[in-house]
Structure 1
């Protein structure tokens, strides 16, 4: 099968990109011919070294000139690669491929973030893949026929972006970890407020925050204002979160919205006890509470008490670490590829 993935870019610190790079390289290793279009990005050398054919296509939403050039570049790429499947991961590329869809090309889109204002554009495809039930319902309400909708849960175990070997970090314990972008949707301010409350009864606890984003400096200032600066450690962007996940005791994701966070799969693989918001695709990834503790978002007091209950009860902490790991093997990138193969196979 000849599969072409289409994105604006392939830069690090982007979940859409991570999913697409994992798919492209693993699909190639499974015997498919794989192409990848983007304007630029950190992963181009990795893709090319893995045998994926990379085509330069401008970001079409950056101005009329780039839109016109992107159309020409995509046309050349499609004529050269002759794909069986065009797999679109970002809305701007969904616009670009519409003439090809009308001409009979098979277009698959993956809706990674249903809360984006442009999410409706992803519905213009032969098949629309969502990473959770929330996205499925958004597309259905956008009048995408149910017969075109499919769900494929994210997974990243065995990611070709990461080296086979790694060394766990040396963390102070008890260690609470989050890995996320530093912006409001991820609930970082709530987590900092919860950690400040937790420290009143558990002064030895440490919080590690891996990630970067537009609110990083504000969150650092918040930690200082709360008096937790010495125990809240901002790690910055982390290309391989396993070094922290396999060293932490508890993983927290305090998101306000999150369709299918890869890091939940990674935290389960590491065997962390998990506390996460009961929103969007997170409950399904935690087996609806069997593999982690689900709480409502935006409630720092409840988050603090939940963390306290785990830290104060070693047997409960051990139980949730075991429950997290149980069944985590389904979150492999190979399983994601097989699920996608079935969807592609419906079209060709």
Structure 2
């Protein structure tokens, strides 16, 4: 019996959630008798990848269409899929997409799951209307979704606090195509990307990167301060690379211009094949205030690039057994100390990273991730292939 999954995604920017959706869809396309379909709300890199992959894609451009029109269009899309596939599951990945999937699931009497890729960023200082709206959404989510997927264990606790039944919460960690990353890491590009940014005449011995959207939670301000501390401490040959774009780009550039490390801080902006840039780093740092399970951590480790990460969320869950890689408070001082260990070629740091890499490759494959989602969509007690 044919089966279908319909993903509901935003695709407005390319971040960790979008990257994970793409890798999951790409893996699902290889499963026999499973139709992989996507409702996407924005054109962009994710839309381009999906359409090129052979997935059945419905674009509902939220910059051009009203919510009612998007709902009607996506509902018609699901109805068409349902006509040829008796077993259909809806899978949503963010707030607006959750609401779309929920309404269609109720109308069509279809099972729906949602994935929580990170912590809810709504604050207690939000307006009364916003908080009331959020409460109503949470009530609907609890009643309408058959499963609430979290990518890290700490997010399950967040859901339980707002009344989501523990038996409906499923932890499915993000997954990576490590074979593809291994191939990328094996290519000898002789630091071609970073050399273009820095210039061939610059003396660069150590490359440190931060990867992700330039938004407050990622703490690029601390990265600038960290660079200044290292350079002022004598690390003139250490260069720092900010990979990504976002609303704080100009603010971060201004901070870099005023930094003592101004000559050692470089901006890549958006990079489509970001793994090629990550592969040129000696280390990637994660300084975020909170995280789900960041793909840049898994990708960096898979590429053989050391990760020094703040002890929050999924970062702490992965690095807790490797204290040399885990950044505690005070965060800035701890990050500076870890970088000096890297610069000094500390053998303990290198040994812990190799152990961490072996564990990550074993635990976080995209094959394992796709299999867990498939078993959640279509449990063995219904008529389907296992």
Cα gap change, 1:301 to 1:190, in 2 (>3 Å): same
| Aligned residue number for residue 114 of structure 2 | 109
The Cα shift of 1:305 comes to 1.7
Change in CA separation of 1:241 and 1:3 when aligned onto 2, cut-off 3 Å: same
Question: Which of 96, 112, 116 is the equivalent residue of 2:100?
Answer: 96
Q: How does 1:251-330 map to 2 (within 5 A)?
A: 251-286=284-319, 288-290=320-322, 293-296=325-328, 299-329=331-361, 330=363
Listed as ranges, the matches of 1:66-215 within 5 Å are 66-82=66-82, 84-102=88-106, 103-117=108-122, 120=138, 123=142, 124-158=144-178, 168=189, 169-170=191-192, 171=194, 172-201=204-233, 202-215=235-248
The aligned residue for residue 15 of structure 1 is 16
| Matched position secondary structure for 2:29 | helix
Paired with 2:365 and 2:323, the residues of 1 have a C-alpha distance of 17
| TM value normalised by structure 1 | 0.89
Q: Distance in 1 between matches of 2:77 and 2:178?
A: 29
- The higher radius of gyration belongs to 2
C-alpha displacement of 1:5: 0.3
User: Does the 8 A contact of 2:310 with 2:331 survive in 1?
Assistant: no
Question: Number of residues paired by the alignment?
Answer: 343
Q: 1:292 to 1:126 in 2, by over 3 A?
A: farther
CA, structure 1 residues 232+107, in 2 after alignment: closer, same or farther (shift >3 Å)? same
Taking structure 2 as the reference length, the TM-score comes to 0.81
Cα distance in 1, alignment partners of residues 181 and 339 from structure 2: 32
Q: Give yes or no for the alignment of 1:46 onto 2:49.
A: yes
How far does the alpha carbon of each residue in 1:150-190 deviate from its partner, in whole angstroms, 9 at most, with x for none? 00111222598999686543443211111121122111111
State whether residues 325 and 349 of structure 2, in contact with CA within 8 Å, keep that contact through their aligned partners in structure 1: no
1:100/1:214 CA distance change after superposition, 3 Å: closer
Q: Unaligned regions of 5+ residues in structure 1, if any?
A: none
Q: 1:250 to 1:258 in 2, by over 3 A?
A: same
2:231, 2:238 within 8 Å by CA — same for their partners in 1? yes
- Equivalence for 1:27: 28
- Among 252, 255, 278, the residue aligned to 1:245: 278
CA shift in 2, pair 1:56/1:175, >3 Å: closer
Give the helix-richer structure, 1 or 2: 2
Q: Name the counterpart of 2:128.
A: none
Distance 1:14 1:313, change over 3 A: closer
Displacement, 1:254? 0.7
Question: Cα deviation per residue 1:256-309 (whole Å; 9 max; x = unaligned)?
Answer: 1111110010111012222111011111233x2338611236732221122112
Q: Could you report, residue by residue, the CA deviation over 1:240-265 in whole angstroms, capped at 9, with x for unpaired residues?
A: 22222222212111111111110010
Q: SS of the counterpart of 2:149?
A: strand
3-state SS in 2 of match to 1:327: helix
Paired with 2:245 and 2:237, the residues of 1 have a C-alpha distance of 25
Distance 2:169 2:373 in 1: 12
Structure 1 residues 160, 200: closer, same or farther in 2, change over 3 A?
Answer: closer
- Say whether the 8 Å CA contact 2:218–2:289 is kept in structure 1: yes
Q: 1:3 aligns with which of 2, 5, 27?
A: 5
Distance 1:125 1:77, change over 3 A: same
